Structure formats: C-alpha cells, structure tokens
C-alpha cells in the first residue's frame, strides 16, 4: 500500500509576524521578507508585489502599502489567535501525514477551519468538492482556478448559499492559460498547503491509499508562500482583468 501523504521541506520556523495578499494576483507577502518594505513611505520607495510585480502607487489616501492592505482586509497579523490556529492546522497535517486521518477528510477539515482565505488550483472538481467549496465560502473567502473543466463545472456546482464568497476563474479560448498544471493545490490561510498529483475529486483522493504517489503537505510559511506564488497566483493573475499598476484606495 502506498503512502497517502508525505511532508517535505517543513522545517520548524516561527510564524511570520503577518501574512498579506496582493490585491490583484493573490500572491502571499510574508512579514519576514517584506515587513519593512510595506510599512515605509511608498512615495519614496515604491513597493512591487513579489509575485506579479505590479507596483502599488501611492495616492492622497494611502502612502503605506501595509495600511492599505490592512484596510482592504488583506493583511493578517500573527497574533496569539493566529498562532493557535496555526498549531491546530499543523496538528491536522500531522494526522494526515501519519495516516491517522484520510487526505479527503484532512483537506475538508482544513477548509472548514480556514478563516482568512483559501486558494485552489486544479484541473477539475466534482460534486463533493463543489459542495465543500460553497460550504467553506460561507465563512472564508475562496479564490479558485479550474483549468480543464470548462462549462461542465456548472453541472456539478450546487446552489450557492447567499453568504458564499467563492470566486472561480476558468480559462477559455479567448483567455487561455499559458500552462496547465497536472496537479492540484489547496492553500489554507497561508499556513497549510496540500499539493496533490490528481484532480480535486473525491474518487481520486479515496484512491490514494492504493497509489504509490503521495500528497505533499507544507507547513513552513515560506514554502507555503512559494507554492502559492509559483503555482496559483500566476494563473489567477493571467485570467483576471488588470492594469499595469495598483492605485491604492481607488477602484481597479
């Protein structure tokens, strides 16, 4: 029987003092690397997103990127509550790694525990995960890229609750992706990353116990940010409407 999960590059680190998201590409910005940059006067030293490269241009309303992202609900401080949540998600990861909990159960529980954001990229989803996305979207904003399902996704998508905050982007002939990954990635609060060798469907996850391939689980915030910024953010950015800059405090 193949292993159902495997942990890689999850060396122990202190949690970042904050985790922030780029407004446009949803790239993760960690306080360890960019704390000084986002709190300085952006009029003197313009800040660019480390993932998409777009500059955050100062306005009469905002000259600090950190203040702007905080007001937009895109900056999450690593306080005691954050650290407790991080500990719980790491324990969940350990249960999946140790085969105490199944991968499908672990991913669904992690989504259920999410508070700040969930990012997903996968080839396709089924009715089970469409339901889980809608359910998690009632308490946490979700952004997803479904690369290969097209309009057939509407056949598995349930009726959304009014409070659901889930937004999916699908490539099309007019707006294609320049790469189509053959894996799935689920990012939870910038704390936990599941990387799967299959599409995000119940059948593929339930079959993992009979496969030699494994789920990779990251709990190091630096590696979680890297997975997000290399795999998810470029696709989200490519499929969205965008300008060549971000004018802080003005609609884009």
pLDDT in tens, 88-104: 999 999 998 888 888 88
Query: End-to-end distance of the chain based on CA atoms, in angstroms?
Result: 51
> Would you place residue 210 in the very low, low, confident or very high pLDDT band (cuts 50, 70, 90)?
low
pLDDT digits (tens, 9 = 90+) for 129-148: 989 999 999 999 999 999 87
Domains of the chain: 5-11+80-238 (3.30.870.10), 18-77+242-247 (no CATH)
How many residues make up the chain in this entry?
Answer: 252
> Would you place residue 1 in the very low, low, confident or very high pLDDT band (cuts 50, 70, 90)?
very low
Separation in Å, CA 69 to CA 21, 23, 34, 65, 243 = 8, 8, 13, 6, 18
Is the pLDDT confidence value at 228 over 50?
A: yes
Cα distance between residue 5 and residue 129, in whole Å = 19
pLDDT score for 159: 75
In terms of phi and psi (left: phi > 0; alpha: psi -120 to 50; beta: otherwise), the region of 149 is alpha
Is the pLDDT confidence value at 224 over 70?
A: yes
The answer to whether residues 2 and 209 touch, using CB atoms and an 8 Å cutoff, is yes
**Which of 23-32, 54-63, 151-160 bottoms out in mean pLDDT, i.e. has the lowest?**
151-160
**Position with higher pLDDT, 202 vs 23:** 23
pLDDT score for 103: 85
Is the pLDDT confidence value at 15 over 70?
A: no
Residue for token digits 């099309």?
Answer: 172
pTM: 0.88
pLDDT score for 7: 45
Picking from 21, 19, 20, 27, the residue whose alpha carbon sits closest to that of residue 52 is: 27
């Amino acid at each position: 029987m193949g292993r159902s999960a495997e942990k890689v590059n999850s060396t122990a680190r202190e949690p970042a003092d904050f985790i922030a998201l780029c407004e446009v590409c949803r790239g993760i910005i960690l306080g360890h690397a960019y704390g000084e940059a986002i709190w300085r006067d952006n009029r003197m030293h313009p800040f660019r997103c480390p993932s998409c490269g777009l500059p955050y241009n100062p306005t009469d309303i905002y000259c600090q990127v950190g203040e702007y992202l905080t007001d937009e609900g895109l900056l999450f401080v690593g306080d005691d509550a954050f650290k407790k949540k991080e500990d719980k998600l790491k324990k969940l990861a350990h249960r999946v790694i140790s085969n105490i909990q199944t991968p499908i159960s672990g991913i669904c529980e992690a989504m259920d525990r999410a508070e700040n954001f969930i990012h997903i990229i996968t080839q396709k989803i089924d009715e089970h995960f469409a339901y889980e996305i809608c359910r998690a979207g009632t308490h946490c904003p979700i952004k997803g890229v479904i690369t290969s399902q097209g309009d057939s996704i509407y056949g598995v998508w349930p009726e959304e609750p009014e409070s659901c905050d889930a937004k999916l982007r699908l490539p099309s002939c007019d707006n294609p992706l320049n790469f189509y990954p053959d894996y799935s990635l689920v990012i939870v609060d910038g704390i936990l990353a599941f990387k799967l060798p299959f599409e995000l469907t119940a059948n593929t996850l339930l079959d993992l116990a009979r496969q030699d391939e494994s789920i990779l689980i990251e709990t190091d915030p630096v590696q979680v940010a890297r997975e997000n910024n290399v795999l998810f953010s470029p696709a989200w950015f490519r499929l969205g409407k965008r300008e060549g800059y971000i004018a802080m405090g003005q609609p884009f």
